[in-house]
Structure 1
Amino acid sequence: MLCHDAVVDISARTDYAVRAMLTLAAAHRDDAGPVSVEALARRQDLPRKFLEAVVADLRGAGLVLSRRGAHGGYVLALPATEVTLGDVFRAVDGPLAEVRGLRPQDTAYEGVAQHLPSLWVAVRSSLRDVLDRTTLADVLDGDLPRHVRALVEEPDAWRNR
């Protein structure tokens, strides 16, 4: 996720990773066993080659396990109730918020912008508040945490500005 020009950009890589993880969570809930990358790609209409790299990152982060064999594929490494969206974001895209490649607390400005690092830290904190407190199970069940639902229900939440 990148913050620049006042835009929070959720990358295709992150979007695909979350969708793949939700598919694996649903397969686990339905006791369907491992899911191949090809099946993940097909179920969410994602490019298979790109998804292979995303799943490799998820595996490297310890969020998915691979199962070999004729009915092999991928499974969640942890229950869906224990995997947050923040875990998935960080696994494929790194830190939740950076400013010109720096962590928010590592920025420093002089003059009129001297207090800006505090704002960047607050932006990161707000992302954490949503992403680190929302699990795959929450999204899969459509039962978002109360504070996230409150944000979604704000009058201008769905309006572009």
Structure 2
Amino acid sequence: MISQKAKYALRALSALAKADPNEPVLIGEIAAQQNIPRKFLEQILLELKHAGVVASRRGKQGGYLLLKPANAITFGEILRLVDGPIAPLPCLSITAYRKCDDCDGESSCEIRHVFARVADATREVLFSTTIADAIVTPSC
């Protein structure tokens, strides 16, 4: 399950992706449009800024904009940034591998074999789906 923070981050990025790429969007506008608490959104956008995903501008024409194109920002990248490792078991993590405390051997662990397939399929979807993919509106 993803955190509320990750959901808000993805929604904020979707809002920025829908906006004019040359016009910064105010935090208040994103918060209202996406129903995200403003203070929480400020923290999330600051984290995304430090990671090089968004940029901010100060002043009258200030706000936030995407630093990278929406088609270059994957769900997996954002989830890993906000929530940490994307793995159902610590022994399957790519970025934070850790042997399970109760493990007698990874090669003989039936649970690991099943969840390795789950982790691979999940990563495939998350790292091949971009913010741009998510905001495409279906034709009526």
Interval of TM-score (by shorter of Structure 1 and Structure 2): 0.7 to 0.9
Structure 1 residue 104 and structure 2 residue 114: aligned? no
Deviation at 1:126, TM superposition (A): 1.4
1:1-161 correspondence runs (5 A): 9-28=1-20, 31=21, 33-99=23-89, 102-104=90-92, 106-108=98-100, 109-110=103-104, 114-142=109-137
Q: What secondary structure is seen at the aligned counterpart in 2 of 1:95?
A: coil
Q: Distance in 1 between matches of 2:110 and 2:61?
A: 55
The runs of at least 4 consecutive aligned structure 1 residues that moved more than 6 Å come to none
Q: What secondary structure is seen at the aligned counterpart in 1 of 2:55?
A: strand
Give the unaligned 5+ runs of structure 1: 1-8, 144-161
Work out whether residues 84 and 133 of structure 1, in 8 Å CA contact, stay in contact via their aligned partners in 2.
yes
In the superposition, the TM-score normalised over structure 1's length comes to: 0.72
Change (3 A) 1:142 1:96: farther
Q: Distance in 1 between matches of 2:118 and 2:51?
A: 24
Work out whether residues 25 and 64 of structure 2, in 8 Å CA contact, stay in contact via their aligned partners in 1.
yes
Give the unaligned 5+ runs of structure 2: none
Q: Distance in 2 between matches of 1:69 and 1:103?
A: 47
Q: Distance in 2 between matches of 1:32 and 1:43?
A: 19
Q: What secondary structure is seen at the aligned counterpart in 2 of 1:74?
A: strand
Work out whether residues 2 and 83 of structure 2, in 8 Å CA contact, stay in contact via their aligned partners in 1.
no
Q: What secondary structure is seen at the aligned counterpart in 1 of 2:87?
A: coil
Change (3 A) 1:34 1:103: farther
Q: Distance in 1 between matches of 2:36 and 2:7?
A: 10
- Structure with larger RCO (C-alpha < 8 A, sep 6+): 2
Work out whether residues 27 and 64 of structure 2, in 8 Å CA contact, stay in contact via their aligned partners in 1.
yes
